[in-house]
Every structure is written in structure tokens, then in C-alpha cells.
A and B are shown apart, each in its own frame.
Chain A
Amino acid sequence: MVQKRFTPGKALIYLLLILLCATIVVAFWHLLNLSLSPSYIATKGGLLLWPRDATLDNYARVIGNRYIWLGYKNTLIRTAVGTVTQLFFTAMGAYVLSKRFFPHRTFWTFFIVFTMFFSGGLIPSYLVVKNLGLLNTYGAMILPGFISAYNMVIMRNYFQSLPEEIEESCLIDGAGRFRIFLQIILPLSKPILATVALWLVVGHWNSWFDVLIYISDDTKFTLQIVLRRIIITGSKEILDTSAAVSAAATESVVSSEGLKAACIFVTTLPILCAYPFVQKFFVKGIMIGSLKG
């Protein structure tokens, strides 16, 4: 069935696929070279296919900035605390919903799923967070999206597929539901927990809008917002404050283009490093999500 012959049609397909990949690889490669370029190359621009006069000055400037470190700290806090607590409570709710005998189960499922399709909108949600006094707290980054209805439904489906007999024997032995959930169900559900945990981690790492609207205290800014302020709003804090400190000589070495590129790599590095190893779990995850509801 498999044709080994290399036909023109096939050659064209290979060529198109290589071109598609090239747009992605070259874009990152160019940006990497830009981040390593001294200012006379970076401001001239063009397509940088090879590092010339490579320098780490841009990185030194970025790493020397306290907001990058604060951003890392805040991102790590929200990612760690958010992922663990959200995973636990989502799983717990999903476990309860997976019990066919739970009272008004259909209603509660609807109660949760409905929020996937309709919401109060931006302003009412903002006012709730504000009135709860959550502005400028980590709570504003974690609580508004604490439980995703979608994740919960997927977990519920997984729990339903577990054999009922294991639980029944535990009940006879006198274990309570909560203990069964902790000691039997969770360990049995590692694949789905890992999948959802990965989604939550990436979600927290990449999340920026909640910080933009709920957080104004710049010591609580996450990486994405620090990056956004530097790149998009063009905030000069990295350029200016450190330029004032360092000697005028370095002025000619760094450039805003190079600094922005370095910022992108510094903030994205963990994802780029972890990506090759976790990619296949995400691919599995998408299949879990698309299975019957």
C-alpha cells in the first residue's frame, strides 16, 4: 500500500511542509540572533540567519532587571498554587458528579455546563472580583477561573469509566467517600490528572488578561504582563532605568529590538525547554477531550 516511489506530487507536498516549518523555525532563529546582536546589527534589521558579533549584553540587561525576576516569582506562584488547588477541587467535584446516585445529578451537571455557554461578561465579572476585595491579590489570578466546566466534565467521564466494584469493597471495609476519593480514585486517575494539570500549567503560564485588569501593583505582575509592558506598550523601564545606571558606553551595545527579543526568550524559555517532552501528553489530551461526552 505504501508507495516508496518519490513522485512529483509527493515532492511538492514535502516542499510545502518544509516551507511551513521554515516559517516557524526561521522566525524563532531570527529572533534568537536578534537577541544576541549588538545594536548596530539589530537596528539595521533584515533577516538574521547567523549571529554576527554575538553578544550577551541584551540578556545581561534583561536578567539584571528586577521586574523580570518578580515576574518569574509571581508566575511560578500562580502556576503552582493555582494548578494544585484547581486540580484537586475540580477532581473532587467531578468525582461527586460521576456518582449516578448523587441527588439532582442532572441538574448539577447542567448548572456547571451552562456556564460554558453563557457568562455575565467582562464588566460584571470584574465588579464581582473588585467587590470581593480581590484586586491586587493572587486570588484574582486563580479564583475567577478556578474550576473549568470543560475540565470537570472530562474528569467526570474518566471517573465514570472506572469500575464500581473497587469502591464497593472499600465501602464495605468502612472507608468514607472522601478517603476513597483521595486514596483510591486519585491514584487510579493519574493519566487524566496529568493531562488536566498540564493544561492548567500552560494556561497559568500564558495567562495575562486577568493580571492586566485585576492587578495594578507592579510587584505582583506576572511574566506575561512584564513582557507585554516592555514589548507592546513599549514601556521603557528596562531600557531607561538600567541605562541610567550603566555607563554610556553600553548604550551603543544594546538596542530596543535586541532587548525585546531577549525578553521574549527569557520569558518563554521554560516552555521551549519543556515542550519537546510534554508535547505527546497534550496530543493525547486532545483525544481525551474529543471523545464522547
Chain B
Amino acid sequence: MERTGGRIYPGGRSSFLSGFRGYRKHIALALMFLPVVVYFIVFKYVPMSGIVIAFKDYKISKGIFGSAWCGLDNFTKAFRTSTFTRSVRNTLVISGLKLLFGFPAPILLALMLNEVTHARFKKGVQTVTYLPHFLSWVVLAGMFQQLLSPNNGAVNYILKTVFGVKDSIYFLGDNRYFRGTLIVTDIWKNVGWSSILYLATIAGIDPALYEAATVDGATRFQCTRYITLPSLASTIVVMLILNVGSVMDAGFDQIFNLYNSAVYEAGDIIDTYVYRYGLGDMKYALATAVGLFKNVIAFVLVVGTNLAAKRISGSGIW
């Protein structure tokens, strides 16, 4: 091949135009790509343009373009209601709690699994703990509804008979317990699956490090503290950053299937708010505005945290 053979489009001003000529040259590829472009325009970019509803006094009869502009009215209207501010607060609190308790859980599990020397036991634990990840929140909500029932649920039964708790706890119907229930059930579902990445990183640690440390008299705990954890550090930091990037998602699937009007105070998040007001009460403009508010913050967070993760690890998720 010639020296310039590797590069088909030389840089410079003509590259843009020659780019368009390129479609004709690679007509087969262009046609193969067409369905993808059509899909993304119709189902991703057209909805993005639908964001204008947020700035309009949207009337279904008049359509998106016929409805009058109303500036930021929808936003100010939302911000003035306490249900909206409550949903923002709940989103941040629930996400924060999930980060605080749910984030370290899989790391701890991976560290514990690393100490297991019986291969079959380890595999068994992994198989069992990965399972809930594959079930939908509809199924799991059904399970938890039964298990946590205040009348005849197994959990309240155990609390009463084994731990001597007097009154039934309304895990899904009491604002004091609802968030706790969300955190625990979330960990229950995801702890195993989230540990995979950490386990893989641990598996990549050079065994010579442990050998050298053991020869020098290090205990297992010291090995974990001074070899395993430092080796996991960059993975942990990247995962933490990525998790922070998604704090605006407090877990719609989970909450929507577990909550009820009795626990809106503790459990109503932005996503459930948008669903109830938008599709439930048909307040399209208000719900679009609230959704946009959330998506813009989420966008800034995700992009920012991804850039940070990329800088730390040398590779982000894209």
C-alpha cells in the first residue's frame, strides 16, 4: 500500500465536502445506516424537540405548535407547589441514602467472597446473590408485599417471635420506614450483581503481592487492607463518580411498584411525580417542565462525572 493509503480523507477544508461525496462512494454502508438515523430522529430527537411543551400553555386541542407560549410559567408553577419540592427532596435523600449504604455493600461482598477458599461455596453464593438482579421490580414488589405484610408477612412474624417486637411494622405504609425499606430491598436486589466488577478487579491482582506479604508475616486482614483495597481504589472511585452522576434517578421502577399514597411524603420522587401529574392528570406542560428540569441537571451531572471518571481511569464509559 502507498503511504497515503491508510487515510482516505485528508484533513483540511475539503474534508467536509468530500465527506458528503463519501456517502455516494459507500452507498451500501449509507443505506445500512439509514434505519438507525431514522430511528434516532423519530424516537429520540423528535421527543427532544417536544420539550417546547414545557414553555407553552399546552392545550391538547391546539397541539404543540398551536398552543400559546407562556415562558417559564410551568416551572414557576411547579416550584411553588410543595409536592414538587418534596419530590426533589425525596429524590436527593433516597439517592443519597442509596449511595451511602448501597454503594459500599457490593465492595464489602467482593472482599468477603475473596476470602472464601472453597470454590464451590463461592460459586454458590454468587449464583444465589446474582438472581434477584434478573427479576423485574414488579415481581420483587409482589414478593416484598407478601413478605413485609403487617398482617401475615414472614418478616413481621420473625420480628415478633424471634426479636420480640410488639407491634407489626408497616414497612411499605409508614413514612418512617419506607425509605429504609427502599434501601434494603435495593441492596438485596443488586448487591451480588454489582460485586462482579470488583471481583474481576480483585482477580486481576498479581498473586506475587500476596505471597510476598504473607512471607513477611502479613495477616489476611492486612493483605486485604494493604493490597486488595488499594488495588480496588481506582475502580471504586470510578464507580462512585458514575453513581453520583445518576443521583437524579432514585429508582423509578422500584418506588413506583412499592409506594402508595400513604408514603408519598417519604417516597414520592421526581419521576413518580412526573408520571402522576403528566399521564395521570394529563398536565402535560407541567410534567414536561419538571421532566426537563430533572433531565438538565442529570445531564450536567452525568457528563461532568464521566469526564472526571475518564480523567481518573483513563477511560470513561464511552
Q: Which residues of A contact B (CB under 8 A)?
A: 1-4, 7, 9-10, 13-14, 16-17, 20-21, 23-25, 27-28, 30-31, 34, 42-48, 89, 92-93, 95-97, 99, 101-104, 108, 111-113, 115-128, 132, 143-144, 146-147, 152-153, 176-178, 181, 202, 205-209, 213, 224-225, 227-228, 231-232, 257, 260-261, 263-264, 267-268, 271, 275-276, 279, 282-283, 286-287, 290, 292-293
Given the interface pairs A13-B116, A104-B19, A177-B26, the reply to whether A122 lies near B35 with Cβ below 8 Å is no
Instruction: Give Cα A213–Cα B278 distance, bound, in whole angstroms.
Output: 11
A112 touches B253 (CB 8 A): no
What does DSSP make chain B's interface, helix, strand, loop or mixed?
Answer: helix
B270 to chain A: closest CB distance in Å?
Answer: 11
B50 touches A120 (CB 8 A): yes
Question: Which single member of B32, B152, B294 contacts A43 (CB below 8 Å)?
Answer: B152
Considering the complex, give the chain A residue whose CB is closest to the CB of B285.
Answer: A123
Q: Which residues of B contact A (CB under 8 A)?
A: 8-9, 19-23, 26, 28-33, 35-37, 39-40, 42-51, 53, 64, 109, 112-113, 115-117, 121, 124-125, 127-132, 134-136, 138-139, 141-143, 145-147, 149, 151-154, 157-158, 188, 191, 193, 196-197, 200, 207, 210-211, 214, 220-221, 252-253, 256-257, 271, 274-275, 278-279, 284, 287-288, 291-292, 294-295, 299, 302-303, 315-318
Question: Which single member of A47, A112, A132, A282 contacts B158 (CB below 8 Å)?
Answer: A47
In addition to A4-B117, A122-B275, 19 A-B residue pairs with Cβ atoms within 8 Å of each other are A1-B211, A17-B121, A24-B129, A27-B154, A28-B143, A122-B274, A123-B53, A125-B43, A125-B47, A128-B47, A146-B39, A147-B36, A147-B39, A177-B32, A206-B136, A224-B139, A275-B131, A287-B200, A293-B317
B48 touches A103 (CB 8 A): no
B143 touches A264 (CB 8 A): yes
A95 to chain B: closest CB distance in Å?
Answer: 7
Given the complex, which residues of A lie within 8 Å of B257, measured CB to CB?
228, 232
Instruction: Give Cα A82–Cα B263 distance, bound, in whole angstroms.
Output: 36
Most A CB atoms within 10 A — which of B9, B124, B154, B193?
B154
A128 touches B46 (CB 8 A): yes
Instruction: Give Cα A181–Cα B26 distance, bound, in whole angstroms.
Output: 14
Name 23 A/B residue pairs within 8 A (Cβ), A-sorted: A1-B211, A10-B115, A17-B121, A20-B109, A24-B132, A27-B147, A93-B32, A103-B19, A115-B45, A116-B318, A119-B47, A120-B49, A120-B51, A123-B284, A124-B288, A146-B39, A206-B135, A224-B138, A224-B139, A227-B139, A257-B152, A260-B142, A287-B196
B8 touches A101 (CB 8 A): yes
What does DSSP make chain A's interface, helix, strand, loop or mixed?
Answer: helix
A24 touches B43 (CB 8 A): no
Given the interface pairs A146-B43, A177-B29, the reply to whether A89 lies near B154 with Cβ below 8 Å is no
Given the complex, which residues of A lie within 8 Å of B32, measured CB to CB?
92-93, 95-96, 177-178, 181
A45 touches B151 (CB 8 A): yes
Given the complex, which residues of A lie within 8 Å of B135, measured CB to CB?
206, 268, 271
Instruction: Give Cα A271–Cα B136 distance, bound, in whole angstroms.
Output: 11
B151 touches A124 (CB 8 A): no
Given the complex, which residues of A lie within 8 Å of B279, measured CB to CB?
122-123, 126, 213
A172 to chain B: closest CB distance in Å?
Answer: 14
B63 to chain A: closest CB distance in Å?
Answer: 9
Instruction: Give Cα A175–Cα B237 distance, bound, in whole angstroms.
Output: 48
Considering the complex, give the chain B residue whose CB is closest to the CB of A268.
Answer: B139
